Amino acid sequence: MRRIFALAASPVKVQGVGYKAGEPRVERDAITPIPSDYVGALRLALDYLCIGTARATAGGDVTSTCPDGLTCIEGSCRPSKVPPSVVPAEKPVDGGAAGCFDVAACFGTAQPASVDPTDCTLALPAGVDPSTISVALEYAPGTGGGVCTASGCWVVFDRG
């Protein structure tokens, strides 16, 4: 999830929530100042290791199961504060938001790769340059989490 900023302000809380069947499942937040001298992209990964961290309140808001000041990152509660230096300056790409990643377009024509369960390595299809790949788990439509279309659902892994 990305938020593009170009305003000056005191630190703000930015919240990302992933839903399935109308129910909040994953919550991630960040508290950061919004720089006034550039456009930046704050990346909030909604990680599958954090499924179950989002809770709906009686008033319709969504809260985290992490204590105040913490947010779920890669399966554990970590500080929500993000320094401005972590919000890199970016320029819009092709008239759209700065560097947005279109999951459905990327994985809609993707090739499958075999995974060796003993060491979690991928056997890439012949001729594929490892520096140009993106990796996701694919599910049949309506059966998995992640980004879904009529042809499938994908849970994308962050590089590294």
User: Where does 52-156 have alpha helices with state H?
Assistant: 103-107
Show which of 86, 118, 143 is a domain's final residue: 86
Task: Give per-residue pLDDT as tens, 46-78.
Answer: 888 999 999 998 888 899 999 999 999 999 999
Same domain, 49 and 80: yes
Task: Give per-residue pLDDT as tens, 7-39.
Answer: 445 677 888 898 888 889 999 999 888 766 656
Same domain, 9 and 61: yes
What is the Cα–Cα distance from 53 to 5, expressed in whole angstroms? Answer: 26
The answer to the question of residue 93 being in a domain is no
Show which of 86, 115, 136 is a domain's final residue: 86
Same domain, 45 and 114: no
Write the burial class of residue 45 (CB in 10 Å: 0-12 exposed, 13-18 middle, 19+ buried).
middle
* Whether pTM exceeds 0.75: no
The answer to the question of residue 94 being in a domain is no
State the DSSP code for 111: P
Number of domains making up the chain:
2
pLDDT above 70 as % of the chain: 78
Same domain, 8 and 78: yes
Same domain, 17 and 51: yes
Show which of 86, 111, 140 is a domain's final residue: 86
Same domain, 27 and 65: yes
Range of the domain at 21: 2-86
The answer to the question of residue 113 being in a domain is yes
What is the Cα–Cα distance from 75 to 52, expressed in whole angstroms? Answer: 10
> What tokens were used for 143?
């059966």
**For 83-109, what is the mean pLDDT?**
64
Same domain, 12 and 75: yes
The answer to the question of residue 111 being in a domain is yes
Same domain, 122 and 58: no
The answer to the question of residue 37 being in a domain is yes
